[in-house]
Structures are given as C-alpha cells and as structure tokens.
Amino acid sequence: MLKKTIQTLEQFKSSSSSTRTRDHVHMKWNNPFNNWVRNIRSTTQNDTNTTTSYPVSRETTTSYSVPRERVDCVVIGAGVVGIAVARALALKGREVIVIESAPSFGTGTSSRNSEVVHAGIYYPHHSLKAIFCVKGREMLYEYCAKHDIPHEQTGKLIVATRSSEIPKLSVILNHGIQNGVDGLKMMDGVDAMKMEPELQCVKAILSPLSGIVDSHSLMLSLVGEAENHGATFTYNSTVIGGHMEGNEICLHVSETKSLKEWNGKSSLQPELVLIPKLVVNSAGLSALALAKRFTGLENKVIPPAYYARGCYFTLSNTKASPFRHLIYPIPEDGGLGVHVTLDLNGQVKFGPDVEWIDGVDDISSFQNKFDYSVQANRAEKFYPEIRKYYPNLKDGSLEPGYSGIRPKLSGPCQSPVDFVIQGEDIHGVPGLINLFGIESPGLTSSLAIADFISTKFL
C-alpha cells in the first residue's frame, strides 16, 4: 500500500493535473531552504518581515533570531484527517497552510490501514468515535460518489465461531443499534455460511453499510480541492515546537532535513516562526510528543501515549477471493481482530493483529521513528486465528504484507479511550486544537472530524 502511495505521488508530482494549479506548490518539491522560506512567506497574509528573539523550546531558554510570519490557519500533518481539516477550513474561506514533515501527503497511518469504511457499530454510545464514524461514513460515501473515488459498499459479517462468543455478538449488535447504524441483522450461522460458502461460524451480524475505499484517491482528491480553495501544502517541513506570546501561538518550523542529524539532546532551533490564528495539531502518531514541545501548554492536559502495531498478511496462490464480504471475528484487546479485508483490486488481506510496542519515547515519537517491518514468523499466529472462520486456509498461503501503528491513549488490558479533540476550553491556549488518539475509525471519521472542527472552532 505504501508503494501505491509513493507511485501515486510520483505520478502526482510529474503530472500537470488540473487540480494542482498553483505553481508555488510545485516549487516546493526538493527546494533549498531559501525557496522554502520564501514559498511559505509568499502564502502568508501579512509579511511582517521581522526577526526577533524568543525561547526556542521547552527545554531551553536560549534565544535565537528567525523570520516570523503572521498566518491565518496552520494544519500540522497531511494525513487524511489533516487534509480533510484543511479542505474544510479552505472551503469556509480561511487561508490555510498545511505543514507536513514528509515529502508528500498521506505517508503515515493514513496509508497503513485496512481502508474499511466502518459502519459505526463497535464504539460506546455517544462517544466521539461513534458519532464521527456514523456521520463520517455517510459523508464519505457521498463524497466518493460525487468525486468518483473508487469505493464499494461490500457489506460485512461479524462472526461468532463458537457459542460462547454469541453474547459478545449481541452486545456488539446493541451498540450498533444505539449508535444509529441502519440495516444491522443478526443471522444464524447457516444463513451466513450460505452467503459465504468458505465461512465457518455459528452466528453472525450482517452490516450492509460497511465497505472499502481507495484512501489514496480520497486523499488526492481532498488535497486538490483544498488547493483549489487556496490551501497550501508545504512538504519536507516540520513543526518542532512552539511558545506563547501573550495570547498568540508562535509555531517553530524547520526543514525536515535539518532534523536528520539531531540526537534528541541538543535544543532544536527553528528556521521560521509562524504566528497563526488557528493551529490544528493533526500530527497522528507524533501529536502527543509534539504537544509536549509547546511551551505554554500544560503537561497535565496531554494524555499518555501508547502504540500498537498491526501487521497484515496477504493471501497468495488464490485466483479469486474466497469472500465477497468483509469478515470480522469478535474484537480483541486493542483491535478489531484479524479480519478479512478486500481491496478494490481484488486482493485479500488478513489483519491487523495487535502488538503493543514498548519503549517509544517522546523523541522517537516526535521524529516519527517507528518500525513498520512485518516479521514473517508472525504468520504462525495468523493461521489458527483465521482458520477459526476460514478453515480451508491452505498452509503456506500467507505472505507478509505491511503494517500500521495505532496512536492509542490506553494500554494493554485498559478500557479503550475515545478520540480526544482539545480546544481552548480544555487546555486554555487560544487557537490551538489538539487531535489525540485518532486511531480507527479515523479514516471513516475524517470528513466528520473536519466538519466538527470547522464548525465548532471558527
């Protein structure tokens, strides 16, 4: 999937797509620092053209002089959520700069997921996950239909493979009904197995509203729309921290390549300071560690970070997919269970499992240093899990695929924590919105989260 993103982006960079009409955006690829500052500056409302001294980070009081710019809105991070927020703000007539540390958009968790459009079944009633997932799913299908984004409402079966799991299935069904998910139906195993002859189960919930989406096409379309409404995406640029001056946030920005040699010990010196009216911290896996680098934001409002890797294996040696629906087992601690996902090219993948990652400190999280490798021997655990509902899975048919990492706010054996969206009412910093713990169903919820932010905080 990552390869696909990169391919798409290579085409994107070299194309003269009608959605990318702003020359300065093209100039930002691989440009030297002077161009980089000039390009950011050329998009700002009010070129103050001044330099000043200020504390460079939480951990030091050294002063340093750099150019400063007043801007309207800054979105940190061009994952699907940041992009959707940028589009929503731009559609409301706001001037938006998106600062992305990678060379292109959507290279983080947004390109390392199942690409499932979730119906909104699992999440506690009234939770942000439930509300945004249900609304986001409706918005997403509508957006995909309107903008020709490849997607398919495949439907999904959540299956109990032994009778002891049936009570859990009933709880899931009740959650779904409470959350307002239409069309859910409890089925006897024999009926579900008639629909899916390779399936083995004793009972199942049919969720007809679940589906899949091509997340890369979605992001490409949202970026194009945001740009056409004046948003500017600045790649290879990292927000390294911030501080307050009176009621104003000063964001510290550097070229990403300047951080390459950083050992985490010395203080980081910004190359540009942006003074926005509104900042949306949508830095995904790095959002918490980045928030800790904002002087003026109290540590007590920043929840603890946990990370859980999810690996996928693809099904090889099979001409046709054994399933037409997405097949999900009963959820496990930290995830939705090793499920069957289909992609729009007909490839079948299994996953993600849950592997809690220890020892990720704030420095590696801030630098986005995560291990995405998939160990082939993890397949040993996949076979028995999958065979509970797909007994005909052949030995040797699983090949290592890719992995993603969940930005979690609760650890192993703890109750799942909801999405956290913090504004001034929670942390006291005017104009700062923190998005924490945007794990699944963040892709499905992205348009609803963006709508919420552009409505509540403007």
Where along the sequence are the contacts to ligand FAD (CB under 6 A)?
76-82, 99-102, 107-110, 112-116, 118, 238-239, 282-286, 290, 310, 352, 368, 404-406, 438-444
CB nearer ligand FAD, residue 286 or residue 397: 286
Cα–Cα distance for residue pair 192/186, rounded to 1 Å: 10
CB nearer ligand FAD, residue 194 or residue 456: 456
Cβ 157 to ligand FAD shortest distance, Å: 16
Cβ 287 to ligand FAD shortest distance, Å: 7
Q: Say if residues 176 and 119 touch (Cβ distance below 8 Å).
A: yes
Cα angle, residue 390 at apex, residues 387 and 393 outer, rounded to 5°: 75
CB nearer ligand FAD, residue 44 or residue 101: 101
CB nearer ligand FAD, residue 110 or residue 295: 110
Cα–Cα distance for residue pair 161/342, rounded to 1 Å: 21
Cα angle, residue 349 at apex, residues 343 and 351 outer, rounded to 5°: 120
Cβ 112 to ligand FAD shortest distance, Å: 6
Cβ 439 to ligand FAD shortest distance, Å: 5
Answer left, alpha or beta for residue 219, where phi above 0 means left and psi between -120 and 50 means alpha. Answer: alpha
Which residue has 């997607």 as its token pair? 151
Cβ 385 to ligand FAD shortest distance, Å: 15
Report the residue number whose CB is nearest to ligand FAD. 442
Cβ 322 to ligand FAD shortest distance, Å: 20
Exposure string over 330-353, b if 16+ CB within 10 A, otherwise e? bbeebbbbbbbbbbeeeebbbbbb
CB nearer ligand FAD, residue 239 or residue 393: 239
Rounded alpha-carbon distances, angstroms, from residue 218 to 222, 429, 446: 6, 32, 11
The residue type found at 409 is L
Cβ 197 to ligand FAD shortest distance, Å: 25
CB nearer ligand FAD, residue 202 or residue 253: 253
Cβ 98 to ligand FAD shortest distance, Å: 9
CB nearer ligand FAD, residue 161 or residue 440: 440
- Residue 288 phi, psi dihedral angles, 5° rounding: -70, -45
Neighbours of 7 (CB within 10 A): 11
CB nearer ligand FAD, residue 203 or residue 309: 309
Answer left, alpha or beta for residue 126, where phi above 0 means left and psi between -120 and 50 means alpha. Answer: left
Cα–Cα distance for residue pair 349/314, rounded to 1 Å: 4
